[in-house]
Structure 1
Amino acid sequence: MNTTKNHSIQSVVRAATIIQLIADSPTPMMINQITEITDLNRTTVWRLLETLESLDYVERDPVTKGYQLGYAPYRLFTKTNLYGPLIRRARPILEKLRDETNETVLLSVPKHNGTLTIDQIDAPYSIRAINYVNKFLPSHCTSNGKILLSRLPSEELELILERPLKQVTSFTITETNQLKEEIEWIRKYGFSLTLREWDESENGISAAILDERDELIGFVSLLGPYHRLTKEKMIDLAPKLKDKANSIANLLK
């Protein structure tokens, strides 16, 4: 019993030490750096990192393979919402967008390999989107995720697209060249669509929130039932959505 207890405590200490190392590092840490500093063998470090990543305490950069903090530590240890300032400034604009469109409005931020929804204002209908707040969504089958892909350097995009694309619904794009064509379309027109690709009952449209250096801050999205929020309607709403995203960006300058 004592041996098992000591081993469990040792694992917790090691995991906590790794989290602290990553938190203190100004850049993502490579596994060999962590192994050298902790004086643990590579297999032990790899297993601990794999567990921490599955719990969202750390996340691995797909290009450098370095580790940095995930979202979970902020959610647990920050007394105020990490994204509180962005939510407070954006909400009046998002509420106006909801009133003008009568569809659910989402505010999201970029994460590695996907996006995190940080605020949602629901449509006034009984048939509407589920609550996506605090949900991590993949990049290849969501409208905000496709914008994230369109903003990536070509090297990083290629690395992501080398992996198999998960077939989430029967409408999900899983063919790499087809997705690349859509990414080029997004770069040309400045907004992104998803047509029943994440949820067979939903369509969505997103626009990017960019800072004064043209860096990606977040996304404004509209989400609704595919029979109500049609592709044609979303394209008509695109200028309005882009205008709201720009208004939020201007508030952050």
Structure 2
Amino acid sequence: MNINKEENHVQSVVRAAHILQLVANSDHPITINQLSEETNLNRTTVWRLLETLEFLHYVERDLPTKGYQLGYAPYRLFSKNNMYLSLIRKARPLLEKLRDEINETVLLSVPKHNGTLTIDQIDAPHSIRPINLVNRLLPSHCTSNGKLLLSRLSIEEFNLILDRELEPITRFTITDPTLLQEELNWVRDHGFSLSLREWDESENGMSVEITDNRNELIGFISLLGPYQRLSKDKMLTLAPKIKSTAKEIAEKLS
């Protein structure tokens, strides 16, 4: 956003919105100096805008770093329109229990036309852990939940996917259509899927489906962690536990 082109807009609103976007997009609390540099505004102007946003609870200060992060107002603003709020609320206690039992990051996602959307993430207390993927749309051919989605496609639908060249996200991404079809056959046989450094070279993941009593797809539970810690062998042993959690969530939704 070029905040210098503001002839037809209220300047202070444009500047405040830009600052709010920068805070929201930052993976860690962002400082006044960083915001000043990003917006080309002087430090005093940024401070005054942050004071207003903080008063309205759109941002809040992180005391240890003295940086700024999102407050609760944005979440309250959009929560009434969050179509997945009921699913998140009912699934979260079971996902937190699963996280505590396996000590790895647990994600909840839903199918979309061109991938999967992460709607909740419960991190384990490790110093090395996945980035926040909430509200991120991820591709299908290289993620564990995406493979589950692909495994439900008919041959005709799968061929449409193959009309587009499969992008090699990492050197481990499966881009050969024949190999991908073999992978999807394995997924159908075992009832869960794996991603072995295919989306991020440092991470492995596994997913199971959440389905209703008609076998209609509701969403996915996924585990994600460093490949050294969350090995293929470990994920294979965890599959029954993840499936059991998915079944419990489905029962709560029925």
CA distance in 2, matches of 1:173, 1:105: 24
8 Å CA contact retained: 2:210, 2:250: yes
8 Å CA contact retained: 2:151, 2:187: yes
Per-residue CA deviations over 1:115-165 (Å, capped at 9, x if unaligned) read: 000000001101001000000000000000000000112211111123200
Find the counterpart in structure 2 of residue 244 from structure 1: 245
Find the counterpart in structure 1 of residue 97 from structure 2: 96
Find the counterpart in structure 2 of residue 14 from structure 1: none
Per-residue CA deviations over 1:62-97 (Å, capped at 9, x if unaligned) read: xxxxxxxxxxxxxx9773321000000000110011
1:140 aligns with 2:141: yes
SS at match of 2:166: coil
8 Å CA contact retained: 2:104, 2:224: yes
Runs of 4+ in 1 over 6 A off after TM superposition: none
Per-residue CA deviations over 1:184-225 (Å, capped at 9, x if unaligned) read: 000000000000000000000000000111111100000000
Superposition map of 1:114-125 within 5 A:
114-125=115-126
CA distance in 1, matches of 2:89, 2:138: 22
Per-residue CA deviations over 1:27-49 (Å, capped at 9, x if unaligned) read: xxxxxxxxxxxxxxxxxxxxxxx
Find the counterpart in structure 2 of residue 196 from structure 1: 197
SS at match of 1:200: coil
SS at match of 1:214: coil
SS at match of 1:129: coil
Q: Output the amino acid matched with 2:206.
A: I
CA distance in 2, matches of 1:131, 1:77: 19
SS at match of 2:189: helix
CA distance in 2, matches of 1:174, 1:152: 18
CA distance in 2, matches of 1:84, 1:108: 12
Find the counterpart in structure 2 of residue 21 from structure 1: none
Superposition map of 1:35-184 within 5 A:
79-184=80-185
Q: Output the amino acid matched with 1:244.
A: T
Unaligned stretches of 5+ in structure 2? 1-76
Gap change, CA 1:77 and 1:93, over 3 Å in 2: closer
SS at match of 1:239: helix
Find the counterpart in structure 2 of residue 228 from structure 1: 229
CA distance in 2, matches of 1:83, 1:186: 26
Unaligned stretches of 5+ in structure 1? 1-75
The structure that has the greater radius of gyration is 2
CA distance in 2, matches of 1:102, 1:172: 26
SS at match of 1:172: coil
CA distance in 1, matches of 2:79, 2:105: 28
Superposition map of 1:11-22 within 5 A:
none
SS at match of 1:155: helix
The offset of 1:112, in angstroms, is 0.7
CA distance in 1, matches of 2:87, 2:162: 30
Q: Percent identity?
A: 69
SS at match of 2:117: strand
CA distance in 1, matches of 2:83, 2:144: 23
With 153-162 and 107-116 compared, the bigger mean Cα shift is at 153-162
8 Å CA contact retained: 2:79, 2:85: no
CA distance in 1, matches of 2:78, 2:122: 26
Q: Output the amino acid matched with 1:108.
A: S
CA distance in 2, matches of 1:191, 1:93: 18
Find the counterpart in structure 2 of residue 187 from structure 1: 188
SS at match of 1:206: strand
For the aligned residue pairs, the C-alpha RMSD in angstroms reads 1.2
- TM-score normalised by L of structure 2: 0.68
Q: Output the amino acid matched with 2:246.
A: A
Q: Output the amino acid matched with 2:201.
A: E
